[in-house]
Structure 1
Amino acid sequence: MRIFLLASVNPFAPTASGVRSYVLALARELAARGEEVVVLGIGPQKFIVDGFEFVPVIDRISNAFQFALAAMRFARKHSNLRGIVHGQRPDDLVGFHLLAQHVPTLVTLHGAHGLVVLDRRGRVVGSMYRAVERYSLSRTRAILCVSPRTQAYFEANYPHLRDRLHSIPAGIDMDLFRPHDRDGARARFGMSEAARVVLFVGRFEQEKNPLDAMAAYFWVWERHPETRLVMVGNGKLASPLREWAAGTPAPVEILDSVSQEELAWLLSAADVLVVASRNEGLPTVALEALAAGTPVVGTSVGLLPDIVKPGVNGYLVDQISELPFFLERALCETRWATDRCRETVRAFGWDRVAPAVLEVYHEISS
């Protein structure tokens, strides 16, 4: 079976992206199982790595619309394509639905992206996206939802597509994301052994709420000056975050990006991962943190309410105003067991997730 994974990801540029992690890890896992895998994404050139082929449909983009257009041009040029096309957004598949209708398609929904578009771009653009989403989903043979909440949202909005919806979470590389030696991990990043380290990983965009995550850290730092914040990501809010951090004596380090290998070490170096998102599908980085033995403090988004158990592997808040108090509790009042954190996400290993995705591939191709 030939599988095309279509996504606006650039394997040459490490970024804090759950979708990027999902696509590249899925490609590696499928290739290891003997499948022929091609990743269609963003980059300067073709290459073969880890058993799969990468083919760029465009060399760079400044917005998601440009990638959707590039995918449409690819579909026109390769209208006789043979295989399955697996997209990560409904709008990216429109070109295949219009110009290569014989190709079976499926999409992974990493959350309710229409709500993100509405929040970022306003009602007019949000309505346009919803129309494209409706068109594309109605022509997609299978729809994978990364959490039960995501599935429930799309069942409510598209009840006629209920039979095509599958709840299959994103997988985690349990070998890569594992507990590393804490002292070695901290030495790797120049962190003091005595520091209490808060980590934020994600796009610096409104829906990820990095400003509230930083505000929660500052509240804790005023009471516990041994705390330190590390933020990994990029986006429109990068400048405000850096300006705010520069204007305070609290130790804050902001990194543009790190590789998956470095992220695994960074998660082991941290005392807690903070998630302040307004909307999420999973989020993937929270599962990776737990796999590394690091507890999570965050908002009740995506799959987190089904995974995070208070005092066992983290804390969740219903209101963002509660985040500072629970962050302090996690850092200063709770003893965490690394193995208990890791055990809570063992079911998300790719060894269990990939077979479920493959089963859907066989269903839609038969």
Structure 2
Amino acid sequence: MRVLVLTRIFPNRAEPTFGPYNLKQLAALRDLGWSVRVVNPIPWFPGASRFSGKTRAASLSAVPRQDSFLDLEVDHPRFLHIPRLLAAHAPIYAASVAPTVAALRGSYDVILSPFAYPDGVASLLLGQALGLPVVIKLHGGDMNVGAKLPGPGRWIRWAFPKAARIVAVSDPLADAAVACGAPRSRVDVVQDGVDDKVFFIRDAREVRRALGRDPDRKLLVFVGRLEKRKGVYELLEAFERLAPRHPDVDLVLVGDGDDTKACRERAEKLGGRVILTGNVGMEGVADWLAASTLLTLPSYAEGTPNVVIEAIASGRPVVASRVGGIPDMITSPKMGELHAPEDVAALETALEAALARSFDPDESVRLSGRGTWRDSAGVLAQSLRAAVEAS
């Protein structure tokens, strides 16, 4: 069968690590014999390229119109992005990419759209015009944040009853889809997978040595956007409190973001105990997780974060905020510690507790029950096939 994927959440040349989970799942779907083409719209506004370094649209202005990742064909049409008009994002998005999608009419059997708004809603508008069934895939932020906003929420409640299928990466997201009008019979749970050739149990001391770090020092590793909503300020404050009691522990911030400069300034006050790596790619993330004592993810909101899946596959415990789908992932004290979000004292206590215990890497992997990306793609294929057969 043939699937056309429409989503903003996918790697591009300027952001090669953006949405890697979609890339992995779609490449695995292709390997199962599906024809897969990706339309990955790039935000744009008149004169965007002149604002270099000031807006995301500017930083993406040089992304080519056509590209490929893991041998998947990718189109990068531009869509008009007006930040404050949230309620208008979906129809503007749909109108902007309509020429690209319409040119592919007749070549595909179904549209798959990861992320509910504006992607999923725009895909449904286009699917209705082109006579194609649409499957909307939910990741977390779209439902935990977007669906609660007045404009996007109205669009989501309009779209979900009309979608051929809804795919959710966790049971709580499936329940949220039903609450927004999706018939339970058309909602499927398709867990994300993990690349077990990249994320697997390794000797932490050896990896630390390979990364140029002292093998005897413990590492608290954060992976993600360096932004307030990811809890990085609470993490830095909690570590500042912990550091005097744990002179053998360092904090590693893997990633980049709007608050990188502020994090670096804060880190400088801790005398080299905080390492900022910048963006390091998937293999780099795998190395830092393998080198870690634990992963810490104190986000204010999450869906089913892949970095938690990857840390568990690497045999490392997780200290994370009790939000979104995370409690469904950390189901045992043998896998880590949960804490209240936006609470420095709770984060400090959870980190302290995790540092005081030992964890069995093999047991953590066993408890997760997580499959590979090929397993995940196989379940997704069943949902897509059901959408086509019902159309």
**Normalising by the residue count of structure 2, what TM-score does the alignment of the two structures yield?**
0.82
Post-superposition CA distance 1:169-220 (Å, at most 9, x none): 2221122111234233212322111111011111233432221122222222
Distance 1:71 1:303 in 2: 29
Residue 6 in 1 paired to residue 6 in 2? Answer: yes
Structure 1, unpaired ranges of 5+: none
2:250 corresponds to which of 228, 242, 245: 228
Residue 55 in 1 paired to residue 66 in 2? Answer: no
Within 5 Å, which residues of 2 pair with 1:164-203?
Answer: 164-203=186-225
Distance 1:85 1:310 in 2: 37
Residue 274 in 1 paired to residue 296 in 2? Answer: yes
2:308 corresponds to which of 282, 286, 302: 286
Distance 1:151 1:34 in 2: 27
2:234 partner letter? D
Distance 2:376 2:187 in 1: 16
1:46 partner letter? Q
User: Which residue does the alignment assign to 1:298?
Assistant: 320
User: Which residue does the alignment assign to 1:93?
Assistant: 120
Residue 360 in 1 paired to residue 383 in 2? Answer: yes
Post-superposition CA distance 1:144-183 (Å, at most 9, x none): 1111122223323x24533322222222112211123423
Within 5 Å, which residues of 2 pair with 1:304-315?
Answer: 304-315=326-337
User: Which residue does the alignment assign to 1:44?
Assistant: 64
Distance 1:206 1:15 in 2: 22
Q: Is the 8 A contact 2:254 2:285 kept in 1?
A: no
Post-superposition CA distance 1:269-308 (Å, at most 9, x none): 1110001122211121001001011110111223332332
Distance 2:330 2:250 in 1: 23
Q: Tell me by how many angstroms 1:26 deviates.
A: 0.8
| Distance change >3 Å, CA 144–CA 46, structure 1 → 2 | same
Distance 2:83 2:20 in 1: 19
User: Which residue does the alignment assign to 2:349?
Assistant: 325
Q: Tell me by how many angstroms 1:21 deviates.
A: 2.0
Aligned residues: 356
| Distance change >3 Å, CA 76–CA 248, structure 1 → 2 | same
What SS does structure 2 have at the residue aligned with 1:254? strand
What SS does structure 2 have at the residue aligned with 1:326? helix
Q: Is the 8 A contact 1:44 1:59 kept in 2?
A: no
Post-superposition CA distance 1:58-100 (Å, at most 9, x none): 3997969799645542224432253322112221133443344
Q: Is the 8 A contact 1:291 1:343 kept in 2?
A: no
Q: Is the 8 A contact 1:196 1:271 kept in 2?
A: yes
Distance 2:80 2:15 in 1: 14
Q: Is the 8 A contact 2:330 2:336 kept in 1?
A: yes
| Distance change >3 Å, CA 139–CA 178, structure 1 → 2 | same
Structure 2, unpaired ranges of 5+: 43-62
Name whichever of 277-286 and 263-272 sits farther off: 277-286
Residue 349 in 1 paired to residue 378 in 2? Answer: no
Residue 241 in 1 paired to residue 263 in 2? Answer: yes
Distance 1:26 1:287 in 2: 14
**Normalising by the residue count of structure 1, what TM-score does the alignment of the two structures yield?**
0.87
Q: Is the 8 A contact 2:139 2:168 kept in 1?
A: yes
Within 5 Å, which residues of 2 pair with 1:103-122?
Answer: 103-113=132-142, 115-117=144-146
Q: Is the 8 A contact 1:111 1:302 kept in 2?
A: yes
Residue 143 in 1 paired to residue 166 in 2? Answer: yes
Q: Tell me by how many angstroms 1:49 deviates.
A: 4.4
| Distance change >3 Å, CA 197–CA 16, structure 1 → 2 | farther
Q: Is the 8 A contact 1:75 1:96 kept in 2?
A: no
User: Which residue does the alignment assign to 2:48?
Assistant: none
Residue 211 in 1 paired to residue 210 in 2? Answer: no
Q: Is the 8 A contact 1:5 1:23 kept in 2?
A: no
Q: Tell me by how many angstroms 1:311 deviates.
A: 4.0
1:111 partner letter? G
Q: Calculate the aligned-residue CA RMSD, in Å.
A: 2.7
Name whichever of 288-297 and 39-48 sits farther off: 39-48
Name whichever of 166-175 and 67-76 sits farther off: 67-76
What SS does structure 1 have at the residue aligned with 2:349? helix
What SS does structure 2 have at the residue aligned with 1:190? coil
User: Which residue does the alignment assign to 2:51?
Assistant: none
User: Which residue does the alignment assign to 2:23?
Assistant: 24
| Distance change >3 Å, CA 174–CA 303, structure 1 → 2 | farther
2:174 partner letter? Q
